[in-house]
Copies of this chain bind each other. A is one copy, B any other.
């Protein structure tokens, strides 16, 4: 569970409620902000319009991607680098073929696939081509989901404004009773309010979070590709470590060195590392 997303999404909800009830009307104001037809125009219009913008399959995938926001990204760069260094030690000592066994214990499907390609003796150029094509297809799928939420964020205020225009035109046509102007205009503005809230409470954070998660995953996979090609080229594990550590921030690098100092002593005898 990603605590920032949970605090963020629920916090915004309470801040909106707080904003409503601290006005002159107090809690009595809450019903003014609940109007079913306005919800249908704004939220309904937005999602039906997004449905027309993508295929049905992508629409369902886009909607269901909201749960990814609450999952912490599993990108453990330091762990991945350590795994690759261990694999390079195995490959150096026992040959590339011995990696097949090691690959069976790996959880990361992408890394596993790469190892199996190497074990099969695939040409390095082809290994890179296959893994990079896969990487760019993964990114293309992620971008589709991100763009779903960006479309929601653009459509929300637009349909909020359409709702407000409908309300205003209805109100202005019968401007007989000046006492009804205020409440009618309030109702007209409710769709604009819904549109803003949909765009800024839901779409913007979801799209932004999915982008962050995407960039973490892509970077991790780039680390894996670099590492796999180094293993295949038979590079020295220490050089591979140096190479992959460039992907870490200074802080991660210190943690990495501290952790791997002990571990590598245990797993590879240490002297060579």
Which residues of A are at the interface with B, using a C-beta cutoff of 8 A?
2-5, 7-9, 11-12, 15-16, 18-20, 22-25, 29, 32-33, 37, 40-41, 44-45, 48-56, 58-59, 69, 72-73, 109, 117, 122, 126, 129-131, 133-134, 137, 140-141, 151, 154-155, 158-159, 161-163, 165-175, 179, 181-186, 189-190, 192-193, 196-197, 199-201, 204-205, 208-209, 212, 215, 219, 226, 239, 242-243, 246-250
User: Which of B56, B130, B141, B208 lies in contact with A54, CB distance below 8 A?
Assistant: B208
- CB contacts (< 8 Å) of A15 on chain B: these are 40-41, 44-45, 48
Subset of 27 A-B contacts with CB under 8 Å: A7-B48, A8-B48, A8-B51, A8-B53, A9-B52, A11-B51, A15-B44, A15-B45, A16-B166, A19-B166, A25-B170, A32-B173, A49-B201, A52-B69, A53-B204, A117-B242, A130-B242, A133-B226, A137-B247, A137-B248, A158-B196, A165-B189, A168-B189, A171-B186, A172-B183, A172-B189, A175-B182
Q: Which 3 A-B pairs have the closest CB atoms?
A: A8-B52, A175-B182, A53-B208
